[in-house]
Structure formats: structure tokens, C-alpha cells
Structure 1
């Protein structure tokens, strides 16, 4: 069976047919097709992500992005990594607008795509979009983290939202040798595109194959995503302890370092707040696990940086220890790490499935 001609599939399946009338691009101001059709058309035509739903569809919320249409180049990257054939049976988790499902349906000339969406309103709109465009995937309303056993087994499974934990239902429903592709991250850092291959024993294992940043599966969102970090998660930022560190915060925030730190401290969340005006190059990095918090202040030209902390854990010391552990391993890139999924859960690794990643505060020297 020949490979899919994705150039033809994308040409035959335009994104604009699946984008709602109101979207959000680079700022909080909505772009309304009825009020400004030129701005809407320009936004849809660009290679950028578009937020298509706020606050899980609730009215009058805090403008928390809850669904989006990914940038076309990223959609293409993921479909290339999925490595489908026209006769494959594919489960898509996270229907969204329906565009990705339509691309799959166009490609699977002798196969089938089933797409599952947890949000009934999004699923209904996607189904209307697909019917209008004469695409024919089977749309299901349900929790995609449980897969869709009625349609199993699948040759491929693709998720269009990020997870912190790969549910074992996914490898259970994919054939041995089949591929599972999902965005993956930790509370600390969300940037992994994980490609798993299902083994004959029912486990699945594979490396990270790229950088993506997707919205979380709703039941696996970070604990503090919808809360104000300083003032709510950290209700009183008055420190118990103040010290200085010689560790420059900037390399700690480098992408591959942050990813590796997140593997070791997956329960720690962070936010970074930059200064303004003359202080625009300064920033404060805040960390919290819900009980403890820490902040470190970066000032250009300084050789020591102030650390404020409170709670039972020394979070910045743990960050420094995780960073040092990553450096001691040779600063492996994100793509040198991977995940193995078994009935007992998931395990992250580095430099092959036998490589060890120590998790938790116990790794502090």
C-alpha cells in the first residue's frame, strides 16, 4: 500500500471550512468573521494556531483557552510522524474543529477514522463541519482518555491535546506494531511530542520526536492553570527564607533543561513574570507545588540572584539539583528521552528504555 500524498490531502481539505466565526489569535481580542471578514480570513490563512473556544464554552468566564485549531505546519508534522497508510484504521482523540479528522478521512481512502471529543458542543459543531464538507469520519462524544473500545483494534492513535499520563487504554486498543502519537508534558514544562510503538506484550514505548505545545486534556490539566499564581496559589508571598544563589536562572529555563527538570519534578508548576520599561530584561520565576513556593529574581549583570522561599520543601534547591543531574548526564536533548507505558503506569527514561530518570525531591543532594 502506497504512502499518503499529504500535499494533495491538504490541498483538498482547506482549514477555513472548519474554523468557527469567532477566534482568538495573538491577543485577548476576538476576531469576528461577521464584523471583520478580512481580518478573520487573514488569521485563518496564516500558519498560526487559533483559539476556537474559551472557558470550556462557558459564558462570562476568565478567557481561559480551552480548544484551538493548531498551526497547519504542526498538523502536517504530526500526520507525517503518524505514518499512516490509506487502509489503516485510526482513532483520533480530541475532535476539536474537525479539520484534523477531515484530513485523516481524506487520506484513508480504504480505511476508517473514528474521532472522539469530550465536549458535546464541540463534537456537534465538528460533525456539522464534516457533513458540510462531505467528510465521513465517525464522531463520538466521550472521554478519549479511555479510547473507544467499540472500534478497536486500531493501526494508529493520535491525540490532539497534551497529557501528563498516557492511559493504558490506548496501547490496549492499538495493534502490536501500531503507533500512538500524543503531545506530552509535565506541570513544569509542556513541549514533548511522544511517539510510542505498541509491543507484542501490550506495552508501548518510544521517544519524543519533536516540540509541540498543546492544551491539556481536561482531566489532566495542571492543578493551577485556571488560578492566579501569585495571590491565589501562593496566597501570601512573604517568604520564610531569603538567600542568594550563584546559579544563573537563564540556562535553567532553556527548553531542553526545563523539559528534563520537569521529568524529575513533575509536581512543580512555574510562572515567569517579566519587568517593564527599564526593567524589561529582568524577570521573576515563581515555583509552587501547592504547599511550598519559591521565587528567583534575575537581574542582568548580577553574579548572585535572590531566592525567596516558604513551605516544607526547598523548591529552588530541588530545581538546581535536577538541573545539575541533567548536566551530569551530558545535557541530553528532549528527543533523547522517552516513555514506556505498562498496565502499572508510565515510566520516563533517557538514552534508551533502560536509562534512569530519578523523580522527586529525593534526588536533591
Structure 2
């Protein structure tokens, strides 16, 4: 018989410190070594804050791009509660990471079973060592979690600990009808959604966003320019551009829910914002690019209009303005009023508002027939 989980007890009995490696990076990429400064390490682990546990996929001499982490404890708790776990569930976890969330789930499943998949072999080895004391011991798999793990299917619950832009249909196929899929989700433009899907008997899954999270991307779904220098590399020659001015203040467009909604309509566009300092404090420039076209907008306090520079065939700033106005016309809905539906043919985003449910995302949804490894 299913019983609910006492998460207070599970967290008390499963301390984070047993699963965090000796070297981590805190805020501002500050490196914290337990052997050199045990007090600083202990303070960092005890804090309700995320800790980076790997840079640059474990490769030396990289650009200090975070690629694995121990998530913020309060966020881990939120996600486990949203998963709605019963003690006899069969659960698939995508992204073992340090093994802490794996250990929490394992402790909760007194009558069920847990399978956890990790794509990085070195991360998986470390997690396996940390999980030796777990009871019951979960099944640990090294592989691409975007394919799920069909050998253990069907599952009652699936939880991912990395962000996806495209929900793999394999996940839907491997979860029972009425089962739950919980995953961070975003676009190249904006990454902040915690998506909770419920699988239907017809082989589809649908659900709304239930929170604000920002997770590292699944490795094969990373935005194209994530590790590249935006200006001078992605945008090779910013001086070759069209120049105009706009009366649209760029600040409201960067508000959390507006930015999310714009990203639904421009999911292939990436952005970076650079802030001024000294005499230019309070100013900023935001750059947008899709690989062929780009735009930048300069914000200056108290200006009557704002300079826009653009290059390439698309008029990106006008597209961004149009997406923002479309969001305003829908009543400025919050992220949590939006949802995603996944079928064997693709996925699309929608908004549930006063006029019912309406599609509001890109007109070119991904197709499930795409090769996952090529995304």
C-alpha cells in the first residue's frame, strides 16, 4: 500500500555534506577546497545555495563553465515535493550528479525502486562511491538520460536534474499513464521553468510550469553559443550594422515573466547583457543572436529613445518587441500560467487564460523524429 513520504525525516537522515566533493565553486566562481579550508567548505555546504562541483566537463584549462552542481537544498525539496512521491513508486532519475538527490529518493522508497542515469562517467564514479551506504541501493546507469532507461520501465515518476529545451518522447513512453515527469525546461533565450507533466493514456503528456529554476543544460541540448564569446565571436563584426532608435524601454522586456514569454516565440535566439560601471553605472547593452542575425539595444537612464544596432537578414529587435506586445495582449501571464504538451510528433507551448488554452510558442515545434544526439 502506498504511503506518503516524510521529507523532513528523509532530509534529516540524509545530510548533503556526505555527497559534496572536496572541491567546489561557490559564488563568483570562488574555489573552495575542503582540505585547505574545511571551515569555508562546511559553511558553503550548509548554506541554502547551489555549489558547482565540476567545471568544463572535467577538462583542464577550460573557461570555467559550470557543468555539474549540487543544487540549492530548498530547491531540491521543492522538486521532490512536486514529484508527489509514494513509498512504493518506481522512479527514474535523469542526472545522478553528486548523488544527494538520489540518496534522498532512495531513502523515501521503502517499497519501490530507483534507477538513476548519469551521462558523465567521472561524475558517476564519484556518486557511486558516495551512494554505497544508500539503503536500498539504487540502480546506477552511465548513459544518455535523454533516452531514459527502458529496461526498467514503466516508471511511476521521472525526475530530471538538468534543463531540457525538448522533452524527449522516450520519457513519455517509459512513464505509466497518470505518472509524472518533472524537469527543468527552457529555451536558448530564457531558462527558468520547472515543468510538471502528467502522462495520459493516449501516449501524450501535458502540464504547466510550477516554479522558477535555473539548471545546467542537458549536454546534447546546450544552446549553441553557451561557451563562446558573444561579441567578436558569435557576432564577428559588430561595426557592420544597421543603426536606428526605438522608443521601447528594454528593461520591462527583461522582467522574469516577459523574458520567459518572449523566449517561447524566439527559442533559437540567445542573449547576453553587459552592464556599465563608473560613469556609466546604470547603463547596459543587451545583445541577441541566432548565428546569422543579431541585434543590440543600449539602455541609458532617462533617455527618450534607445539605440538599436542590427545585422543579418532578420530584424531581431522588432521580433522581440512583437513577442513582448503579444505577451502584453494576453494579459501579461506569469510563467506558471503556461504549459507544454508532448506527443510523438513534437512538443508545443500554450497559455491557459481567460479565453481558454491557446498556443503561444514558436510556429516550428521540434519533431520527435529528430536524433537526440544531434540536438
Fold agreement, TM-score > 0.5? yes
Give the secondary structure class of the aligned counterpart of 1:213. Answer: coil
1:167 Cα deviation from its structure 2 partner: 0.4
Unaligned runs of 5+ in 1: none
Contact 2:24–2:51 (8 Å) recurs in 1:
yes
Secondary structure of 1:351's aligned partner: strand
Aligned length: 361
Residue deviations 1:296-347 (CA, integer Å, cap 9, x gap): 0001111200000011001000000000001011111101110000001111
Deviations along 1:3-56, one digit per CA (max 9) or x if unpaired, are 100000000000000000000010123100000000000000000000000010
CA distance in 2, matches of 1:185, 1:108: 30
Change (3 A) 1:160 1:193: same
Q: Matched residues in 1 for 2:27 and 2:305: separation?
A: 35
Q: Report the equivalent of 1:160.
A: 161
Q: Contact conserved, 1:48 with 1:70, CA < 8 A, in 2?
A: yes
Instruction: Indicate yes or no: 2:316 matched with 1:315.
Output: yes
Moved more, 134-143 or 76-85: 134-143
Q: What TM-score results when the alignment is normalised by the length of structure 2? A: 0.94
Aligned to 1:340: 341
* Residue number in structure 2 paired with 1:189: 190
In the alignment, the residues of structure 2 paired with residue 7 and residue 89 of structure 1 have an alpha-carbon distance, to the nearest angstrom, of 21
Partner of 2:65: 64
Given the superposition, is the C-alpha separation of residues 293 and 197 from structure 1 closer, same or farther in structure 2, using an over 3 Å criterion? same
Alpha-carbon offset, residue 355 of structure 1: 1.0
SS at match of 1:77: helix
What residue number does 1:28 align with?
A: 29
Q: Is the 8 A contact 2:247 2:304 kept in 1?
A: yes
Distance 2:153 2:359 in 1: 33
Contact map agreement 1:17 1:133 (CA 8 A) in 2:
no
Structure 1 residues 70 and 262, CA, compared in 2 at 3 Å: closer, same or farther? same
Counterpart Cα distance in 1 of 2:220 and 2:209: 22
CA positional deviation for 1:103? 0.1
Q: State the partner residue of 1:151.
A: 152
Instruction: Encode CA deviations 1:52-79: one digit per residue, 9 max, x unaligned.
Output: 0001011111111000000000000000
Q: CA contact under 8 A between 1:195 and 1:208: conserved in structure 2?
A: yes
Larger mean Cα displacement after TM superposition, 249-258 or 344-353: 344-353
Which residue pairs with 2:300 in the alignment? 299
Contact 1:239–1:308, Cα closer than 8 Å, also in 2:
no
The answer to whether 1:349 aligns with 2:347 is no
Q: Distance in 2 between matches of 1:259 and 1:208?
A: 11
| Distance in 2 separating the partners of 1:198 and 1:354 | 18
**2:272·2:287 contact (CA, 8 Å) conserved in 1?**
yes
Contact 1:102 1:135 in 2 (8 A): no
Alignment partner, residue 329 of structure 2: 328
Which stretch shifts more, 348-357 or 265-274?
348-357
Report 1:1-365 matches (<5 A): 1-132=2-133, 136-351=137-352, 354-359=357-362
Q: Deviations over 1:221-247 (max 9, x none)?
A: 000001000111011111421000000
Q: Distance in 2 between matches of 1:139 and 1:65?
A: 23
SS of 1:192's equivalent in the other structure is: strand
Superposed displacement of residue 135, structure 1: 5.5
Q: Structure 2: give runs of 5+ residues left out of the alignment.
A: 365-375
1:132 Cα shift? 4.2
- Equivalents in 1 of 2:213, 2:62: separation in Å? 27
Contact kept in structure 2, 1:146 and 1:167, CA below 8 Å? yes
